[in-house]
Amino acid sequence: MKHCLIAAILMAAFAGAQTKNLAVISNLMPVPASVKFHEGRLPVTEHFNVHIDGFSDARLTGAVDRFTKRLAARAHATFAPGSAVTITIHCHGPGQAVQGVEEDESYSLEVGPQGAKLHAPTVAGVIRGLETLLQLGRAQGKTYFFQAAAIDDHPRFAWRGLLIDVCRHWEPVEVIKRNLDAMSAAKMNVFHWHLSEDQGFRVESKKFPKLQGMGSDGNFYTQDQIRDVVAYARDRGIRVVPEFDMPGHVTAWLVGYPEMAAAPGPYEIIRKFGVFDGTFDPTRDEVYTFLDAFLGEMAGLFPDAYMHIGGDENNGKQWSANPAIVEFRKQHNLADNHALQAYFNRRLLEILTRHNKKMVGWDEIFHPDLPKDIVIQSWRGAKSLGDSAQQGYMGILSAGYYLDHIDPASVHYAVDPLPRDTKLSAADAAHVLGGEACMWGEHVTPETIDSRIWPRTAAIAERLWSPREVNDAADMYRRMDAFSESLDEFGLTHRSSRDAMLRRLAGSDDIAALRTLVDTLKPVNFGRRSRTPITQQTPLEGLVDATPPDSPEGRAMAALIEGGRAQNAKLVALFKKWQADGAKLAALCQEKPALADAAPLAAELGEMGRVGQGALKILGGGAAPAGWKAQATALLDRSAQPHALVEFTVVKPMRDLVAKASSKKR
């Protein structure tokens, strides 16, 4: 295991800590900036009570109430009112009236056998500290307690966000709220709400009702719902940054207002996914009058200092095909369409400034004519982020944090906005505000979105909160599994949706064999899945949609294979299960049309079970049959190929096992 927090940062802190308490240490996620564990426990009994000493408001008491309810459920306790103080919270003040990037989220926490004290300069800091306190809790027998500890904590980065695209596939308010709860538990503080696209316009505008009336299929958030979500997020220490993508990705706008387009209509909502031609006409004053009125209306709904204008993937085809726009470029000495988009952004910035908003946009908005207080969100990577930072622009990193790419959590965990080998000076590095995970909506529905966001986003949240030196992926996975279980209390379906979908696929409650298969799989990546065209009407209920992105089976197998002979019994049982369930699945795939394309997977699972048992026999002293290695290798080569848009995660550890057996000396 690589050096991690336990080995590299806090070794001295564990002097005197009880060995039996190390499991509690490893469950903190994200890892605090500084933590020292002590002997002793603070028991949670029916006499548990919280006292607020100092500043208090509805936001703080609401946070305490939520904490108390979650604790009561975990401890299976009913707290008696008026009991002696167990936890004292001292908050110095409310923090910023509208939470911003400068908000102080630090806190200190002291837990001992006689009680706990939580100090924070702001309510946001209290919210973060209460999450850490909950993670210190554990049950042992009939007792529930907090481990004694002293913690001083603060985030490494000020901007720790999650983007949710609700346009390509609609996500109702309840989906948003449960994900806000999870974000707060992971100490994330920015909800980036992607609200307009070619496939849908998702906000009620009273000034321009045809936006949602003609561009949403009836799926949009009312202004009251927007206010409710913004308040809900603020109560959990989360800012809401809306994104209205422009000048491209605007087809849904143009359905109701085609006169804003660079080419004549009519327009209709696009059901496919990709990059399309529809754009605003940047040469006409009427477009800016329209945007001024609309963005002013939205500024009244979203109090955050920043508004995201997208700015990405404008292919410029309509601009180049419009003689009036081409002539405008010549008259204004604009060399190309990129320069024309910079002109559009400058005028858009004037509008945002009038409405007291700062601009955020994707890499494409970067232009030296824009002021330094804009924020550039980088999907292109660390070099693009670094280049803008060196020129004085603030930035946030999303490259490497695209959840729809279906990378394992360890891949996201290894991506750092400011890695150890960064070439940025300290002054330039200060312009990097943090990062955002991105959940784009092509392949998710309300049923599956939680499983694509969580628990992997917890790894990104830790990268953005914890010290850079906290980087042991194996330790992260152990803590992430515990964090994942805790998310059930928010109603997230990241674990439960799988079995519900498998029951539909099987047409039965008997899904044990199908679950065995799914445990060994992961979806193919975004690029490969996108080769199979889908639309908004395509049902997303296949085996790929029921399969989690980061199944633990491959990691567990690797650990067993690396272990000694004591692990062989577990492997024998696993391989027998694969053989038996593979045969059951073969019959099921013949009976159920929805599983027909999974038939090769069923066959290969059973065959891998047979190969695994053979390898164990060889390692136990048996002789390898003639041609065994070649046959096993050929099987694993076949098994490495995707079917039904999924692929095995166990092929690599199986190759390692076959290699071990093949190299055993006689």
CA 492/CA 462 separation, integer angstroms: 20
Residue 596: is it exposed, middle or buried by C-beta count within 10 angstroms (0-12/13-18/19+)?
exposed
How far does Cα 296 stand from its chain's mean position? Answer: 30
CA 377/CA 384 separation, integer angstroms: 10
Under the banding of pLDDT at 50, 70 and 90, the label for residue 567 is confident
At 21 the pLDDT is 40
| pLDDT per residue as tens digits for the range 271-329 | 999 999 999 999 999 999 999 999 999 999 999 999 999 999 999 999 999 999 999 99
- pLDDT of 6 strictly over 90: no
**Mean pLDDT, to the nearest integer, of 164-169?**
98
| pLDDT per residue as tens digits for the range 184-224 | 999 999 999 999 999 999 999 999 999 999 999 999 999 99
CA 342/CA 203 separation, integer angstroms: 26
Q: Which of 115, 50, 61, 116 is nearest to 83 (CA)?
A: 50
- pLDDT of 15 strictly over 50: no
Whether 591 is catalytic is no
At 9 the pLDDT is 39
- pLDDT of 332 strictly over 90: yes
| pLDDT per residue as tens digits for the range 416-445 | 999 999 999 999 999 999 999 999 999 999
- pLDDT of 3 strictly over 70: no
Which residues partner with 37 through β-bridges? 149
- Mean pLDDT (the chain) is 93
Q: Which of 221, 236, 218, 194 is nearest to 70 (CA)?
A: 236
Under the banding of pLDDT at 50, 70 and 90, the label for residue 10 is very low
**Helices 58-75/223-235 angle, 10° precision:** 70
CATH numbers and ranges of domains, the chain: 32-153 (3.30.379.10), 159-486 (3.20.20.80), 496-663 (1.20.58)
> φ, ψ for residue 306 (rounded to 5)?
-110, 145
DSSP-assigned states of every residue in 214-278: HHSTT--B-HHHHHHHHHHHHHTT-EEEEEEEESSS-HHHHHH-GGGBSS--------S-S----
Rg (CA), the chain: 27
> φ, ψ for residue 56 (rounded to 5)?
-150, 145
Q: Which of 163, 95, 84, 166 is nearest to 125 (CA)?
A: 95
Please state which of the ranges 25-29, 193-197, 570-574, 653-657 shows the lowest mean pLDDT.
Answer: 25-29
At 80 the pLDDT is 84
User: What 3-state DSSP class applies to 610?
Assistant: helix
For 426, residues 6+ apart whose C-beta sits below 8 A from its C-beta are: none
At 612 the pLDDT is 96
Per the structure block, which two tokens stand in for 49? 């009570």
Which of the residues 313, 447, 469, 489 is marked catalytic? 313
- pLDDT of 228 strictly over 50: yes
CA 479/CA 473 separation, integer angstroms: 10
At 25 the pLDDT is 53
At 26 the pLDDT is 60
The beta strands (E) that lie in 268-409 are given as: 306-310, 358-362, 375-378, 394-397
| pLDDT per residue as tens digits for the range 334-372 | 999 999 999 999 999 999 999 999 999 999 999 888 888
Please state which of the ranges 441-450, 516-525, 538-547, 618-627 shows the lowest mean pLDDT.
Answer: 618-627
φ/ψ region of 453 (left if φ > 0, alpha if ψ in -120 to 50, else beta) reads alpha
Per the structure block, which two tokens stand in for 589? 């795939």
At 312 the pLDDT is 95
Share of the chain above pLDDT 90, in %: 87
**Mean pLDDT, to the nearest integer, of 15-29?**
52
Q: Which of 648, 640, 478, 471 is nearest to 559 (CA)?
A: 478
| pLDDT per residue as tens digits for the range 54-73 | 899 999 999 999 999 999 99
At 665 the pLDDT is 64
At 568 the pLDDT is 84
Share of the chain above pLDDT 70, in %: 95
In this structure, which long-range contacts are made by residues 362-370, counting pairs with CB atoms below 8 Å and at least 24 apart in sequence?
A: 362/310, 362/311, 362/312, 363/312, 364/311, 364/312, 364/313, 364/314, 364/338, 365/309, 365/311, 365/341, 366/393, 367/338, 367/342, 369/342, 370/342, 370/345, 370/346
Question: Which residue in this structure is represented by tokens 């963005």?
Answer: 295
CA 614/CA 661 separation, integer angstroms: 9
